[in-house]
Structure 1
Amino acid sequence: MRARLNGLGLRWKIAALLASGCALVALAIGGLIHHARYEQISDQARANATAELIRVRKVYVATGSVDHEDSAAAVDSPALPSPLRKAALEKRRTTYLELDARHPAVWAARPIGEKSVLSVKLPLDEVRDELRDLDRQLIAWGTVVVALAALGGGALASRVSRDLRTAAATARKISGGDLDARINHPRPPRTKDEVAELACAVDTMATTLQQRLEAEQRFTADVAHELRTPLTGLQTAAELLPPGRPTELVRNRVAALRTLTEDLLEVARLDARIEQPDLEVHPLGKLVEGIIQRAGYKAEFTSGTDALVRTDARRLERILTNLIVNARRHGCAPIEILVSGASVTVRDHGPGFPGHLLAEGPQRFLTGAKERGQGTGLGLTIALGQAEVIGARVALSNADDGGALATVVLPEG
């Protein structure tokens, strides 16, 4: 039962809570009204019976007999309830109410002589019917009140639920990278409206996050751009060094630093979402084969079909080159490339991707695991960013028999 309640939406919970509260209030008020009316009817019936008993006694004293058809008056009636008879024989004038019996009635009795009891009986069928009719009306009106409360609670909760769903959808957009998404709640935040306060807090958080990310992107782009000029001079100077092992090491490090700078600039452009793809329809098999040949890397290429895909050839080449370089640097030979339908899979036979990389995705400047070698961690980041630009999807996984799998799924042409 508790799990079922937890599965309900906020709107239904609020509506059920209001309906339950109103039902309890209606039940309490109905019980009080019923009890008050019951006591009123009982007191009136006892008073009527007592007055009738006084009248019948006067007749009995005057005539020495009673008319049995007159208010069911009788002396020593065999139907007289035993508690009433006992009270009368104790010289007490009292009444006895049978409102819940099959034939409701009220009795009144008093002693006559030493061992006789004079009694009267008044029927209460109409009184009981009146009380039952009152109960039916209380139930009917209580049901109406509960239904109206449920409808009103549902309407109120729908508004709150809609605002919360809008906030949740906006938060998901921000989490997905849309930093311009805002709730823009119509009510001002400086009120007692908790939903408005939540919306304002989410918008403030999004604005702050956007400012910090934009500052980080500008810093990355500025650093990479400022490094370009001295790196160009450093590369020129390295080319003028005399041949030898030290010169070769310097040139390799300068080339690596220049590659890192270009990668940083590319990451900055991807983060800024200013890249525009040049989409054209290409046969995927031939396109991938040409990319492998231009890359100059040794790899086992297999093409099952030559499906047509709509993509940017230059950006696809950047994606596959990064995946192949990642497989060569962090995995083991042989490197296998398989084209199947509109997808391309790059596989190595190394230790595979670490678990946290598969769960959280690639992170910049983090290669994932020591056994996968050294690197900047930008290759997979750029590959996934370029794939998003061209409308493709990169899925990272590990093969059952070992090795890392990177599958690029492209939109069909």
Structure 2
Amino acid sequence: MRLGLPQWAGTLAAKAAVFITVMCCALAALLGILVHVSVTNQTVGQARELALSRLEDATAAFEAGDTLRHGVSVDPPELPDSLRELAVAGERGTMVADSRGRPTMWAAGPADGAHALAVEVDYSQQARTIEGLDRAILWSSGLAIGATLLVGAFAVTRVTRRLHATAQVARRISGGALDARVDDPRTKDPTRPQDEVAAVAAALDSMASSLQSKLLAEQRFTADVAHELRTPLTGLHAAAELLPPGRPTELVRDRVAALRTLTEDLLEISRLDTGRERSELDTEPLAALAERVVRASGTETEVVVVRDLVVETDRRRLERVLGNLVANAHKHGRGPVSLTVDGSVVTVRDHGDGYPQYLVAHGPQRFRTEGGAKGHGLGLTIALGQAEVLGARLSFANAVDGGAVATLVLR
């Protein structure tokens, strides 16, 4: 975005450059003004002393009736009016003004009461000296500002580059890559000075390690619990099949089936959490697959085909995603429910109360439901995980006229 600086460094580097430039300009202006004022005062003071000294000699010669020297005259037309008035009033004074196109130091005093005796001293050399000094101040200030900007930009860019690396790692961690680390070399060598960026990098690495450890422990716990539940549930299922027919038996079988489904869902989530799931690709007509999913669900779901497309995907995983979306629409929404195929985009919509705001903003969360809804919140979590394995993008939104809309975009 900005020439000479990477995109990530633009804002901070620009602010630092502006700050450095402003401070350099202010400092250069202050020093330049001080030098200019000091040298000008010294130069003008020397010229004033010389002019007053000549005025004293000219006054003595004028009072003695001697011939006036060159540069001394009475009431010269070039004498500034303010200085003339001062001399006529009986005072002595000096002033720098142009005379015949060149800078002149004037000194004037009273002569015969109503006249002014004036002495002019050439001030051209002093004026040229001050002009040369001003040019030198401007050039040196420009060079100093340029050099400071280069050094400052180099230093700031080094810091922003490290900050950018830290921000990238933070984004990777938030995206699920918990093994990402900054690994700032300053944090590994205690003998090196530790600046604020190194402290932030170290804190981020420590946080990521702690978060990864806790998440892995949670995943292991979930997988272990699900595995341990499979054996007793298998026994319960077999025992329930031996019970005599009746309402109590149906209730037991129903609860055992629910527990087995929950256990299988937990096992599937634990496999997805490991990140080791790989899709087995095959070509599949998307419309036919959608109709097959609806038939298997046993629900009244309308299939709308806007534009069919043959996609390369994992059929089993895609059926799992669409099946969970359709089941969720019927379980938590209201009819009519429709599944629309438009090229590589598949949309499942119901006409219920819509998704909760937390789900739209942050995605599905396991074991969280709102509004008294039944379920464990695992169906959409599994659908999202399987979509990620497929390399697809699954998003959730609410329609303007009511209802939940889940959109799956295949790649």
**So what's the TM-score if we normalise by structure 1?**
0.88
The secondary structure found in structure 2 opposite 1:152 is: helix
Q: Is contact 1:99-1:124 (8 Å) kept?
A: no
Taking structure 1 as reference, are residues 90 and 323 closer, same or farther at Cα in structure 2, changes over 3 Å only?
closer
Matched residues in 1 for 2:231 and 2:122: separation?
113
The secondary structure found in structure 1 opposite 2:179 is: coil
Q: Is contact 2:90-2:113 (8 Å) kept?
A: no
- Equivalence for 2:337: 335
Q: Is contact 1:15-1:151 (8 Å) kept?
A: no
Residue of structure 2 aligned with 1:234, choices 230, 233, 236:
236
CA drift at 1:91: 7.0
- Equivalence for 2:95: 97
Matched residues in 1 for 2:79 and 2:335: separation?
109
- Equivalence for 1:402: 402
- Equivalence for 2:4: none
Residue deviations 1:33-61, cap 9 Å, x none? Answer: 11111111112112222333355456557
- Equivalence for 1:3: none
Q: Which amino acid aligns with 1:96?
A: T
Q: Is contact 1:338-1:346 (8 Å) kept?
A: yes
The secondary structure found in structure 1 opposite 2:187 is: coil
Q: Is contact 1:394-1:408 (8 Å) kept?
A: yes
CA drift at 1:117: 5.3
Residue of structure 2 aligned with 1:29, choices 16, 28, 31:
31
Which sections of structure 1, spanning at least 5 residues, go unmatched?
Answer: 1-6
The secondary structure found in structure 2 opposite 1:407 is: strand
Q: Is contact 1:348-1:403 (8 Å) kept?
A: yes
Matched residues in 1 for 2:317 and 2:112: separation?
120
Answer with 50-59 or 137-146: which moved more.
50-59
Q: Is contact 1:280-1:312 (8 Å) kept?
A: yes
- Equivalence for 1:107: 106
Matched residues in 1 for 2:118 and 2:407: separation?
101
Residue of structure 2 aligned with 1:225, choices 211, 224, 227:
227
CA drift at 1:121: 1.3
- Equivalence for 1:155: 154
CA drift at 1:356: 2.6
Residue of structure 1 aligned with 2:270, choices 268, 271, 274:
268
Q: Is contact 1:311-1:390 (8 Å) kept?
A: yes
Answering whether residue 388 of structure 2 is matched by residue 393 of structure 1, we say no
Q: Which amino acid aligns with 1:350?
A: G
- Equivalence for 1:12: 14
Could you say what the CA RMSD is over the residues aligned between the two structures, in angstroms?
2.6
CA drift at 1:88: 5.7
CA drift at 1:285: 1.6
Q: Is contact 1:342-1:409 (8 Å) kept?
A: yes
CA drift at 1:302: 3.1
The secondary structure found in structure 2 opposite 1:362 is: coil
The secondary structure found in structure 2 opposite 1:188 is: helix
Q: Which amino acid aligns with 1:408?
A: L
Taking structure 1 as reference, are residues 305 and 82 closer, same or farther at Cα in structure 2, changes over 3 Å only?
closer
Which sections of structure 2, spanning at least 5 residues, go unmatched?
Answer: 1-8
Matched residues in 2 for 1:168 and 1:408: separation?
29
Matched residues in 2 for 1:301 and 1:81: separation?
101
Q: Which amino acid aligns with 2:187?
A: P
Answer with 250-259 or 146-155: which moved more.
146-155
Q: Is contact 2:87-2:93 (8 Å) kept?
A: no
* Residues paired across the two proteins, number: 399
Residue deviations 1:268-307, cap 9 Å, x none? Answer: 1111111111111111122222333334334322334431
Taking structure 1 as reference, are residues 399 and 65 closer, same or farther at Cα in structure 2, changes over 3 Å only?
closer
**So what's the TM-score if we normalise by structure 2?**
0.88
Matched residues in 2 for 1:275 and 1:154: separation?
46
Residue deviations 1:214-249, cap 9 Å, x none? Answer: 111111111111111111111121112111111110
